[in-house]
């Protein structure tokens, strides 16, 4: 379970860490959109500089980013190979039945590869430098306008933050139940698929039951502490939009302009 | 006489789908600043009593008055501001993502302005000695530390009454001692009224008054010394007696005459010293 890079946060004091989570969230999404504007080497080089700049400023070691790519490597290679062998056009280097290696194919394949890697790098940068709870805060604050459409923004964000807070607790509990069941002779991850599925039942049911009990306890404790819903509450945790956030947005804005220019080079 | 902080009269409660009442016709008054321990075996109705006082359950009959105000659905939220509760399982009552946020949760609910909130969170965490851990997540804390945070959450609300619903039952002896000491300080320094629901007999022996509940009935309501004098009867109703009382029984079994009245550990030591020097 330690392989999961999503939600893994590396505390730090860098420039990127101190950005407002809202600006980080918006900019990461924005980056993923503008990546699809890039259509030649110059534009990809620009995006690469932008990403590496962010990585460098975050002060997080490069290895973590490579780890983010690793679980997806087969998906990336599969897509890239499909692009390479099934694209037509340009000089034909080699051909065999429906498969063909063409200059267009090679270029398209490398573009797809670049896109994947850049998107993964940028989203890893977001999760590595932003605590899960900050992301939840950012989502709440960005969903604020939805309140006009009767979306229970506060409740959603409370659920999100409680869910995040209970992830490690439930992980521990899963481990405990697994070990307890193992000590009583349950084999996890062995035998045929049917057997493996059956072995999960003595893990899932206790976990469900204990989650219900936890929920009940937590609800009682929350009520005893005066929780009556989102109305009339104040907030302890507040994020401030700082000069650096505006600066980051300007950098991304300029990058977009340059990108649009490079596109038609 | 001063008006009691908590006044319970003719209180009954029955859980749905259960044949007998969890509590029946209970009368109890707790003075301001008093430390009351409620003891009883499992399922005797202790926790039900705590939840009724906080308005988390609605009684079948009877009334509860907190600081002179009767508990009804309209006064409920105001009354709850006066009561802080610490529950048994330290994991399941931790709402916030880290220590300081959890302490702030109750304050947020009351709509306390942020500046005041920051000050009170820091003060409460300093009180329980957890300020250095303000940024820590619950997963990185021990059970005793989590319980201290829960206590800080209660202190920050500045209630008049603290109810501990078996708050020390899942802790190791060390953590238990720390929590009890903290409560003792709060009770003495800030004049909080403390109701401690417990299985831990040593904890009960520190209280000013002990109430014994057995199958929903209030069996005894007296000073700890008087309650523990009934040694054998206590054991019969599924409870334990303090260590000094056990030692006394053992000595008595050896055919040595020991005083009838309850002795604390210190009292026991004194008596033993006197007894030996007399020989």
Instruction: Give pLDDT tens digits for A61-80.
Output: 888 888 888 888 999 999 99
**Would B57 be classed as within a structural domain?**
yes
B114/A236 CB distance under 8 A? yes
Residues of B in CB contact (< 8 Å) with A are: 51, 54, 56, 77, 80-81, 83-85, 87, 89, 91-98, 100-101, 104-114, 117-118, 121, 137-139, 153, 157
- Rounded distance between C-alpha atoms, residue B99 and residue B133, angstroms: 7
Mark whether B3 and B78 lie in a shared domain.
Answer: yes
Among B119, B139, B158, give the residue marking a domain's end. Answer: B158
- Closest residue in B to A227 (Cα) is B109
Mark whether B168 and B147 lie in a shared domain.
Answer: no
**Would B29 be classed as within a structural domain?**
yes
**Residues above pLDDT 90, as percent of chain B:** 20
A217/B95 CB distance under 8 A? no
Q: Cβ(B98)–Cβ(B146) under 8 Å?
A: no
Q: Is the pLDDT of residue B264 over 80?
A: no
B95's tokens: 């709402």
Per-residue pLDDT, A1: 41
Question: For chains A and B, what is the number of CB pairs under 8 angstroms?
Answer: 90
B112/A234 CB distance under 8 A? yes
Per-residue pLDDT, A27: 92
Residues of A in CB contact (< 8 Å) with B are: 132-133, 161-162, 164-165, 168-169, 172, 213-214, 217-218, 220-228, 232-238
Over residues A145-154, the pLDDT tens digits come to 998 998 888 8
DSSP one-letter code for A231: T
Mark whether B272 and B236 lie in a shared domain.
Answer: no
Select the residue of B81, B92, B97 nearest A164 (Cβ to Cβ): B97
- Rounded distance between C-alpha atoms, residue B27 and residue B186, angstroms: 26
Chain B residues with beta carbon closer than 8 angstroms to that of A223: 56
Over residues A76-131, the pLDDT tens digits come to 999 998 888 887 776 777 777 777 788 888 888 898 999 999 998 998 888 888 88
Select the residue of B95, B108, B153 nearest A218 (Cβ to Cβ): B95
Q: Is the pLDDT of residue B54 over 80?
A: yes
**Would B232 be classed as within a structural domain?**
yes
Chain A residues with beta carbon closer than 8 angstroms to that of B91: 169, 214
* pLDDT band at B265; cut points 50, 70, 90: confident
Per-residue pLDDT, B1: 47
Q: Cβ(A42)–Cβ(A262) under 8 Å?
A: yes
B95/A237 CB distance under 8 A? no
Per-residue pLDDT, A174: 92
Select the residue of B81, B87, B107 nearest A217 (Cβ to Cβ): B87
- Closest residue in A to B141 (Cα) is A169
- In three-state form (DSSP H/G/I as H, E/B as E, the rest C), the secondary structure along B154-183 is HHHCCCCEEEEECCCCCCCHHHHHHHHHHH
B93/A217 CB distance under 8 A? yes
- Rounded distance between C-alpha atoms, residue B67 and residue B6, angstroms: 6
Nearest to B171 by CA among B90, B270, B74: B90
A220/B51 CB distance under 8 A? yes
Mark whether B143 and B271 lie in a shared domain.
Answer: no
Cβ-based neighbour number of residue B173 at 10 Å: 10
* pLDDT band at A265; cut points 50, 70, 90: low
* pLDDT band at A11; cut points 50, 70, 90: confident
B96/A235 CB distance under 8 A? no
- Rounded distance between C-alpha atoms, residue B146 and residue B125, angstroms: 12
Mark whether B270 and B197 lie in a shared domain.
Answer: no
**Would B87 be classed as within a structural domain?**
no
B105's tokens: 């949760």
Q: Is the pLDDT of residue B196 over 80?
A: yes
Mutate to test the interface with A, among B95, B115, B162 (most CBs of A within 10 A): B95
Query: Mean pLDDT score of chain B, rounded to an integer?
Result: 86
- Buried b vs exposed e over B37-52: b needs ≥16 C-beta within 10 Å? bbbbeeebbbbbbbbb
Select the residue of A161, A218, A235 nearest B92 (Cβ to Cβ): A218
- Closest residue in A to B165 (Cα) is A221
Average pLDDT over residues B44-67: 88
- Rounded distance between C-alpha atoms, residue A24 and residue A125, angstroms: 9
- Rounded distance between C-alpha atoms, residue B161 and residue B64, angstroms: 14
- Residues 6 or more apart in contact with residue A249 via CB below 8 angstroms: A23, A26, A27
Over residues B214-226, the pLDDT tens digits come to 888 888 888 888 8
Q: Is the pLDDT of residue A212 over 70?
A: yes
A236/B121 CB distance under 8 A? yes
Q: Which helix (H) or strand (E) holds A212?
A: helix A193-224
Mark whether B70 and B168 lie in a shared domain.
Answer: yes
Over residues B58-109, the pLDDT tens digits come to 888 888 988 888 888 888 888 888 899 999 998 889 988 889 999 999 999 9
Query: Mean pLDDT score of chain A, rounded to an integer?
Result: 85
Mark whether B53 and B191 lie in a shared domain.
Answer: yes
Q: How far off is chain B from A177, nearest CA to CA, in Å?
A: 17
Q: Cβ(B33)–Cβ(B57) under 8 Å?
A: no
Mark whether B142 and B170 lie in a shared domain.
Answer: no
Q: Which of A11-20, A232-241, B152-161 has the highest mean pLDDT?
A: B152-161
Residue range of the domain that includes B256: 242-278
Over residues B237-260, the pLDDT tens digits come to 777 778 888 888 888 888 888 777
- Rounded distance between C-alpha atoms, residue B123 and residue B131, angstroms: 8
Mark whether B180 and B73 lie in a shared domain.
Answer: yes
CATH number, residue B190: 3.40.50.300
Average pLDDT over residues A174-181: 92
**Would B216 be classed as within a structural domain?**
yes
**Would B234 be classed as within a structural domain?**
yes
Mark whether B72 and B200 lie in a shared domain.
Answer: yes
Per-residue pLDDT, A8: 66
Q: Is the pLDDT of residue B127 over 80?
A: yes
Per-residue pLDDT, A3: 44
Per-residue pLDDT, B2: 61
Among B158, B176, B198, give the residue marking a domain's end. Answer: B158
**Residues above pLDDT 70, as percent of chain A:** 96
Query: Alpha helix locations (H) across chain B?
Result: 46-53, 76-80, 99-109, 114-127, 143-156, 173-189, 201-205, 224-229, 231-236, 243-253, 265-278
**Would B88 be classed as within a structural domain?**
no
Counting the structural domains of chain B, the total is 3
Mutate to test the interface with A, among B97, B101, B113, B116 (most CBs of A within 10 A): B97
Check residues A96 and A162 and name the one with the higher pLDDT.
A162
Q: Cβ(A101)–Cβ(A95) under 8 Å?
A: yes
Q: Is the pLDDT of residue A209 over 90?
A: yes
Q: How far off is chain B from A172, nearest CA to CA, in Å?
A: 9
Cβ-based neighbour number of residue A67 at 10 Å: 14
Per-residue pLDDT, A2: 46
- Residues 6 or more apart in contact with residue A162 via CB below 8 angstroms: A218, B95
Mark whether B252 and B185 lie in a shared domain.
Answer: no
- Rounded distance between C-alpha atoms, residue A168 and residue A98, angstroms: 50
Average pLDDT over residues A165-192: 88
Chain B residues with beta carbon closer than 8 angstroms to that of A164: 97
Taking the C-alpha atoms of A85, A88, A89 and A94 in order, what is their torsion angle to the nearest 10 degrees?
Answer: 40
Per-residue pLDDT, B99: 92
Nearest to A53 by CA among A22, A20, A27: A27
**Would B142 be classed as within a structural domain?**
yes
Mark whether B104 and B219 lie in a shared domain.
Answer: no
- Rounded distance between C-alpha atoms, residue A217 and residue B51, angstroms: 12
Select the residue of B85, B91, B107 nearest A224 (Cβ to Cβ): B85
A162/B105 CB distance under 8 A? no
């Amino acid at each position: 379970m330690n392989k999961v890079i999503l939600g893994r946060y590396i505390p730090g004091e860098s420039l990127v860490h101190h950005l407002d989570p809202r600006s980080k969230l918006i900019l990461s999404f924005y980056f993923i959109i503008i990546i699809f504007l890039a259509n030649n080497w110059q534009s990809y080089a620009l995006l690469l500089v932008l990403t590496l700049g962010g990585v460098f400023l975050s002060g997080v070691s490069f290895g973590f980013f490579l780890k983010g790519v690793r679980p997806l490597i087969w998906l990336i290679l599969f897509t890239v190979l499909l692009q390479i062998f099934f694209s037509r056009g340009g000089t034909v280097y080699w051909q065999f039945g429906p498969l063909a290696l063409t200059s267009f194919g090679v270029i398209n394949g490398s573009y797809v590869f670049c896109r994947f890697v850049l998107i993964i790098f940028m989203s890893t940068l977001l999760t590595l430098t932003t605590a899960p709870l900050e992301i939840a805060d950012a989502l709440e604050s960005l969903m604020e306008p939805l309140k006009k459409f009767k979306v229970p923004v506060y409740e959603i964000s409370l659920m999100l933050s409680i869910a995040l807070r209970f992830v490690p607790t439930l992980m521990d509990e899963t481990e405990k139940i697994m070990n307890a069941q193992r000590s009583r002779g349950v084999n996890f991850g062995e035998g045929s698929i049917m057997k493996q599925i059956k072995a999960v039942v003595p893990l899932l049911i206790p976990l469900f039951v204990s989650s219900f009990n936890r929920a009940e306890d937590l609800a009682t404790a929350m009520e005893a502490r005066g929780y009556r819903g989102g109305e009339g509450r104040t907030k302890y945790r507040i994020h401030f939009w700082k000069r650096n956030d505006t600066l980051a947005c300007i950098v991304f804005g300029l990058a977009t302009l340059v990108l649009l220019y490079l596109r038609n080079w | 006489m001063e008006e009691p902080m908590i006044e319970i009269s003719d209180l009954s409660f029955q859980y749905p789908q259960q044949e007998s009442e969890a509590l029946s016709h209970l009368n109890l008054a707790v003075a301001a600043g008093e430390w009351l321990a409620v003891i009883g075996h499992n399922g005797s109705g202790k926790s039900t009593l705590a939840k009724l006082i906080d308005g988390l359950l609605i009684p079948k009959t009877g009334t509860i008055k907190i600081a002179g105000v009767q508990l009804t659905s309209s006064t409920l939220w105001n009354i709850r501001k006066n009561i802080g509760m610490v529950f048994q399982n330290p994991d399941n009552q931790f709402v916030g993502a880290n220590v300081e946020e959890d302490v702030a949760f109750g304050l947020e609910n009351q709509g306390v302005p942020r500046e005041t909130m920051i000050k009170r969170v820091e003060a409460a965490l300093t009180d329980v000695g957890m300020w250095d851990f303000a940024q820590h997540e619950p997963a990185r804390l021990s059970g005793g530390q989590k319980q201290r945070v829960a206590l800080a959450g209660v202190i920050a609300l500045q209630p008049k009454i603290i109810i501990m619903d078996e708050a020390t039952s899942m802790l190791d002896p060390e953590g238990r001692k720390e929590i009890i000491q903290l409560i003792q300080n709060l009770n003495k320094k800030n004049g909080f009224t403390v109701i401690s629901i417990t299985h831990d007999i040593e904890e009960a022996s520190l209280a000013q008054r002990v109430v014994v509940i057995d199958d929903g009935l209030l069996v005894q309501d007296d000073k700890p010394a008087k309650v523990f004098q009934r040694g054998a009867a206590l054991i019969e109703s599924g409870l334990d007696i303090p260590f000094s009382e056990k030692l006394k029984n053992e000595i008595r079994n050896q055919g040595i005459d020991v005083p009838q009245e309850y002795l604390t550990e210190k009292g026991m030591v004194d008596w033993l010293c006197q007894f030996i020097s007399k020989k």
